[in-house]
């Protein structure tokens, strides 16, 4: 799962840029069940089990 935060003021193209810029570094974690939270200035990965 990928969660975008603090991007409501950005249009879809800008949101896609944030996602695509970070996708290479989060793909493996997300494929293994982690939750990636992305914002314009931050990236966080939460691995299961989520508490």
pLDDT at 9: 96
pLDDT score for 49? 86
Q: Give, rounded to a whole angstrom, the gap between the first and last alpha carbons of the chain.
A: 15
Per-residue pLDDT of the chain (51 residues; tens, 9 = 90+): 999 999 999 999 999 999 999 999 999 999 999 999 999 999 999 998 877
Domain boundary assignment for the chain: 2-46
pLDDT of residue 44: 97
Contact 42, 50 (CB under 8 A): no
Check residue 48 and give its pLDDT: 86
d(CA 13, CA 49): 32
The whole-number pLDDT of residue 20 equals 96
């Amino acid at each position: 799962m990928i969660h975008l935060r603090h991007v409501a003021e950005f249009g879809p193209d800008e949101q896609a840029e944030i996602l695509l810029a970070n996708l290479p570094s989060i793909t493996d974690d997300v494929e293994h069940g982690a939750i990636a939270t992305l914002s314009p200035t931050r990236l966080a990965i939460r691995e299961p089990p989520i508490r």
